[in-house]
Structure 1
Amino acid sequence: MRFLQVGCKAALVAAIGSLASASSFKNHYYDYIVVGGGPAGIITAERFVEAGKKVLLLERGVGPTVATGANETLTWNKDLTAIDLPGLSADVGSLPVWDEYMCTDTEGMAACVLGGGVTVNYMVFVHPPEHDFDDNNNWPEGWKWKDLKPAAERLYQRNPGTTLPSADGKRYDQGLYSVLSKFFSTVGWKSVDMISEPNEKHKVYSYPSWNIKDQKRAGPVRTYLPLAEKKDNFSLQLGTKVIRVVRSGSHITGVEVQTSSGETEIITLARDGRVKQIETAKDSGIKVPPKKQWLDLPVGLGFRDHPIFTLKVQTNGSFGIPDYDAIVNGTDRKDISLYGKNSGLLTQGKHRAIFFSSNELNGQTRYYQGSCAPADGSVLEIKTYLTHGATSTGVLGLDSNQKTVFEESPYMQTADDKKAAAAFVKELISDISTPGSGLELITKPNVTAILNTISSGNHYTTSAKLGTDDGRKGGSSVVDLNTKVYGTDNLYVVDGSIHPDLPTGNIQTTIMVIAEAAAARILAQH
């Protein structure tokens, strides 16, 4: 039996449409049960289906598109939801479905909806550079870029991302980019294409790469799931929360689920099937195996995330933010008309430029990403991430109510992270303050204060680390090189938690690449 939990979604979200009761699972056996319909879950499920395996994909939330059951469509296009429309991605938190889609029992922010975070994010699609996997020795042999490149190519064939989504080949609302490109050229930075030049990550800027395909929000819900749904060996069940993995010793025999009706049932794996599930605490009320069968693994240790520092800058440009209400209610006829031709502002995401840079301290290179978006009154908002090379880690735990909690913060915990980030922010402020830059800092230029007001990147990694050092024997790893949980026969993890390092930029692309690679490795074992 093969059971994979993909993603850290833990909140029960009301499902829409008619859902089968748990009793409908009786007498059904699956080669793979994939728990969590996030990006990695959908990709692995589809690849298993493609290989001829009988697969059940379980998602506790609902579907965000018309094809997956959503009926909250746009007033002016009954084939699309607001989630589908790239031009509304910046306003996604104001949409009526936001509260329905967001988890309520996780620390930070997580999406309990089919597609996971890819359904509700700003769609920034950073093709990972080779150094993410090849330096620091964090990714083990077998998971270096040379090993992952074929997986990346398979992903990009289906879900490539784009810097130019409008079908007419034009870019719209470029006032902010015009201001920024002049500024970056003045301070000696280089313009690159972040898709075709993914390894360029020092003092460079680019038009944003977005997770958009055919003028709609892309991601595995649109680029992988339809392929699986065409096959008779695939089943998708929404509104179904996995409570626990059922196991006998080291062997997983099924999963216990709870449907939206409150019924529970055991779903059974085929004799040689496989599963994946995050461990829960005994005092949370979940039935656990006898203590002699417990697996002592460092789940939650070494937890990582990107800290974000935000700067606001007044520019001498002429731009603002779109009228999102007019887009939703259909009164923005100009942009809606252009979108009807697969072109225009509504084909684009929130940001107008993305930049990358790095600095070195005590032999350690740290990388930074800046996501640049327009605000009212020609104001530029820069969200700067400390990314790959950061050395801070925390601890992710589970409380007695089954809610994930930060037992130790993963943000800016080491002196060198603080020094390096301070140096980068100070340099950025100095460049912005250069006479003739056309920019004026609104945020007070107090570096310490800026670093003390960091926010979460919600790009969580490393809570179930992949590696060769078995965590049961004093090592730091939870899963082996095939993503199988140490001490089990058939329990696998495929999501951001297995990543042993932070990527240089937004994490969604890297998660998808790793899912492609993991699916291939798991299939090769069986």
Structure 2
Amino acid sequence: MSSSAGSTLQVRLKDKNRLKEQRTSYKYSAMDIYDKYFNWSYNDMENSKLYDYVIVGAGSAGSVIAARLSKAGEKTLLLEAGGAVPPFLNIPVLTPLLQQSVFDWQHVTVPQKHACKGLINNQSKWPMGKILGGSGRLNYMAYVRGHIADYTNWCPDLEESVDKETSSLNVHCDNWYTDLSDAILNGAAELGQNVGNINRDLNIGFMKVELTSKDGERWSTDRLLHRDIEKLTVIANAHVNKVLLKEKKAVGVEFEKLGTQLKAFATKGVILCAGAVGTPKLLMLSGIGPRDHLKGLKIKVVQNLPVGQNLVDHILTGLDLVVLNTTLPLNILNVLNPLSAFNYFFHGKGPWTSAGIEVVGTLHSTKSNRKLDPPDIQLMVMPVGISQDGGIALRKIMGISDEVFRDYFSPLTHETAVSILPVLLHPKSSGEIRLQSSDPAAPPIIDPKYLSVQEDVEVLIDGIQFVKKLIRTRAMQKLGATLYTKHYPSCKEFSFDTSEYWECYVRHVTLTSYHPAGTCRIGSVVDEFFRVYSTENLYVVDASVLPVLPSGNINAVVVMCAEKAARLLINKKFLKQRSQCHMTDFMQYLFYASQVKN
């Protein structure tokens, strides 16, 4: 830090014992050392510095908005709780190993009553990126735009930057695939499903997955953050504690870095991009949220809004449910082969370029209206199973208990088990995120209330029934595909392959697709311009604003929301600086509130 910056810096250290207990994990991490030499930070740590915009969270949305605003001439500060990006994070095949690491917030839900019974303590682990690039650095890189009906009622004009030089996501179509991908597509065609590009040509059907990659490497939106952007300041390892509000106007944020508490001020706006968990937590810590909940924690209520409510997530089932009598090239031995490393580093080819997903497909369950509704089931096809590594890493990352792995998955260790995973696209069940305390260091309480509505179970069972049909097709039989018929240990009281058995199975083998959303949704917490209701200069742009889940992976949608928000801010297309609750907003709020209640 320069001497002039040091003279400006006003340091206020917190209680040392509290810091030792709650901040050690990042204060003394190796990533801070990396950050010191290879990342922005120390030259710009001036207290009470003034910017046009302060953005919280350098994930998929925050990085896009920061890059767009700063290039448009707006003096912008981007704050990220995580650190810099080491080069090995660009290797797609390492994706699963990044979960439960220093790059992950390592969130976990409360024990689930109706689901996740095969997981340790009935709790679902929720990986989320704590690094420049956010969850776009931890995800499986699948680029899926969803169905046109997903956006008709709330945001029909979503689009990305189409200029290849400035594109926020580099979408790569010519990926490395195993023979399983062609077998799945041919099998889907046998069953009368559409096969083509569901991102562009079709609204529903099956395709080889498109990945956000370039030359075999992961591509995430933090690559837009260049040092030559004069108006942009990025500070990593900065934990934002609250939004600073003057009455109901956002004027800045309070954040902490390496034990030093600082403030940054914004003249035009504070934009929260901390994700479906981080953003509602920060709003509630700042006094914006459910009145009774905040009062119970002795937090001064600035605005009563249903922040943290309507938590929804895509969940899946069907791990290692299909067994092949042939070997696929994406396996532990092939990944560890030095030739695979050579092909990756010198040619950008081979198994190291695989993120694990090869095919995505969408279809309707028997519960949906095929003519009016978007698809409610997605299939994600992965040529590996969690049994393949003998329980060393993958099952621990997902939180599968020792007992379940030993009794159910371990017999598949020497087989070629693959996962054709039914995903629940539009769950009827919804949950909430609450604060544990008024301490910013305390993790939030996450309760998605998975499978609390019976219809969600029935839709997932429909997905399993489709998988059974798929593996009986001629194309899949060429690979010797069969259903894994071992009884799930906790479901032995039910006859195998009955509806009762599959309900028991689904309630035990319940896993997140890493797509939580809706906790600050449009129409209840923010308006269509991403402004927080009844506040001024306060915006939210991330997965939390999605009023409904899209019919597919959500990263592309989050980026499109960020592009739209950036265009609105740059073009000044806001009717008023303050987001008032007009009659239309009030009616829309009542509608969404009734949906949450139901």
TM-score by shorter chain over 0.5: yes
Structure 2 distance, partners of 1:394, 1:27, is 38
User: Relative to structure 1, is the Cα distance of residues 109 and 252 closer, same or farther in structure 2, using a 3 angstrom cutoff?
Assistant: same
- Shift of residue 181, structure 1, vs aligned partner: 3.5
2:158 matched to 1:148? yes
Residue aligning to 1:161: 171
Structure-to-structure mapping, 1:215-230, within 5 angstroms: 215-222=216-223, 224-226=224-226, 229-230=227-228
Residue aligning to 1:269: 266
Residue aligning to 1:297: 305
- Shift of residue 91, structure 1, vs aligned partner: 4.5
User: Relative to structure 1, is the Cα distance of residues 378 and 284 closer, same or farther in structure 2, using a 3 angstrom cutoff?
Assistant: same
- Corresponding pairs, count: 459
Residue aligning to 1:501: 548
- Shift of residue 285, structure 1, vs aligned partner: 12
2:84 matched to 1:63? yes
Q: 2:458 aligns with which of 419, 430, 453?
A: 419
User: Relative to structure 1, is the Cα distance of residues 490 and 241 closer, same or farther in structure 2, using a 3 angstrom cutoff?
Assistant: same
2:150 matched to 1:132? yes
* Contact 1:303/1:393 (<8 A) preserved: yes
Q: Which amino acid aligns with 1:295?
A: Q
- Shift of residue 274, structure 1, vs aligned partner: 3.6
Q: Which amino acid aligns with 1:390?
A: P
Q: Which amino acid aligns with 1:279?
A: L
Using the TM superposition, name which of 453-462 and 343-352 deviates more.
343-352
TM-score w.r.t. the length of structure 1 is 0.79
User: Relative to structure 1, is the Cα distance of residues 235 and 325 closer, same or farther in structure 2, using a 3 angstrom cutoff?
Assistant: farther
SS in structure 1 opposite 2:35? coil
Structure 2 distance, partners of 1:194, 1:243, is 41
CA offsets, 1:209-244, max 9 Å, x none? 11112321001022x223xx3121110001111111
User: Relative to structure 1, is the Cα distance of residues 239 and 493 closer, same or farther in structure 2, using a 3 angstrom cutoff?
Assistant: same
Q: 1:349 aligns with which of 346, 349, 355?
A: 355
- Shift of residue 46, structure 1, vs aligned partner: 0.8
2:522 matched to 1:522? no
2:481 matched to 1:439? yes
Structure 2 distance, partners of 1:427, 1:456, is 20
Q: Which amino acid aligns with 2:133?
A: G
Residue aligning to 1:209: 210
Structure 2 distance, partners of 1:160, 1:333, is 26
CA offsets, 1:282-309, max 9 Å, x none? 79999x9984x52100001111100111
Q: Which amino acid aligns with 2:445?
A: V
Residue aligning to 1:189: 193
Structure 2 distance, partners of 1:351, 1:105, is 23
2:256 matched to 1:255? no
Structure 1 distance, partners of 2:190, 2:44, is 66
User: Relative to structure 1, is the Cα distance of residues 424 and 178 closer, same or farther in structure 2, using a 3 angstrom cutoff?
Assistant: closer
Structure 1 distance, partners of 2:419, 2:368, is 31
User: Relative to structure 1, is the Cα distance of residues 348 and 426 closer, same or farther in structure 2, using a 3 angstrom cutoff?
Assistant: closer
Q: Which runs of 5+ in 1 are unaligned?
A: 1-9, 65-69, 71-80, 166-170, 468-476
2:88 matched to 1:87? no
CA offsets, 1:28-47, max 9 Å, x none? 21000001111100001111
Residue aligning to 1:46: 67
User: Relative to structure 1, is the Cα distance of residues 255 and 395 closer, same or farther in structure 2, using a 3 angstrom cutoff?
Assistant: same
Q: Which amino acid aligns with 2:233?
A: S
Moved >6 Å (runs of 4+): 282-286
Q: Which runs of 5+ in 2 are unaligned?
A: 1-21, 110-125, 273-278, 389-414, 488-496, 578-598
SS in structure 2 opposite 1:411? coil
- Shift of residue 500, structure 1, vs aligned partner: 0.2
Structure 1 distance, partners of 2:284, 2:374, is 36
Structure 2 distance, partners of 1:360, 1:521, is 40
2:525 matched to 1:486? no
Residue aligning to 2:244: 246
Structure-to-structure mapping, 1:333-344, within 5 angstroms: 333=339, 335-337=341-343, 339-344=345-350
2:473 matched to 1:464? no
User: Relative to structure 1, is the Cα distance of residues 494 and 455 closer, same or farther in structure 2, using a 3 angstrom cutoff?
Assistant: same
Structure 1 distance, partners of 2:127, 2:73, is 35
SS in structure 2 opposite 1:310? coil
SS in structure 1 opposite 2:458? helix
Structure 2 distance, partners of 1:265, 1:460, is 30
* Contact 1:308/1:385 (<8 A) preserved: yes
Q: Which amino acid aligns with 1:294?
A: V
- Shift of residue 26, structure 1, vs aligned partner: 2.6
TM-score w.r.t. the length of structure 2 is 0.70
2:56 matched to 1:35? yes
Residue aligning to 2:383: 374
Q: 2:338 aligns with which of 315, 321, 332?
A: 332
SS in structure 2 opposite 1:412? coil
Structure 1 distance, partners of 2:131, 2:98, is 14
User: Relative to structure 1, is the Cα distance of residues 46 and 373 closer, same or farther in structure 2, using a 3 angstrom cutoff?
Assistant: same
User: Relative to structure 1, is the Cα distance of residues 40 and 430 closer, same or farther in structure 2, using a 3 angstrom cutoff?
Assistant: same
Of all paired residues, the percent bearing the same amino acid is 22
Residue aligning to 1:176: 180
User: Relative to structure 1, is the Cα distance of residues 430 and 61 closer, same or farther in structure 2, using a 3 angstrom cutoff?
Assistant: same
* Contact 1:254/1:268 (<8 A) preserved: yes
SS in structure 2 opposite 1:103? coil
SS in structure 1 opposite 2:534? coil
Structure 2 distance, partners of 1:56, 1:456, is 33
* Contact 2:65/2:563 (<8 A) preserved: yes
Structure 1 distance, partners of 2:535, 2:93, is 45
Residue aligning to 2:104: 102
CA offsets, 1:460-502, max 9 Å, x none? 11100112xxxxxxxxx10111111112111110100000000
* Contact 1:34/1:58 (<8 A) preserved: yes
SS in structure 2 opposite 1:370? strand
* Contact 1:482/1:522 (<8 A) preserved: no
Structure 1 distance, partners of 2:251, 2:504, is 52
* Contact 2:356/2:382 (<8 A) preserved: yes
Structure 2 distance, partners of 1:21, 1:86, is 31
* Contact 1:30/1:273 (<8 A) preserved: no
Structure 1 distance, partners of 2:254, 2:220, is 28
- Shift of residue 105, structure 1, vs aligned partner: 5.4
Structure 1 distance, partners of 2:538, 2:76, is 15
User: Relative to structure 1, is the Cα distance of residues 319 and 516 closer, same or farther in structure 2, using a 3 angstrom cutoff?
Assistant: same
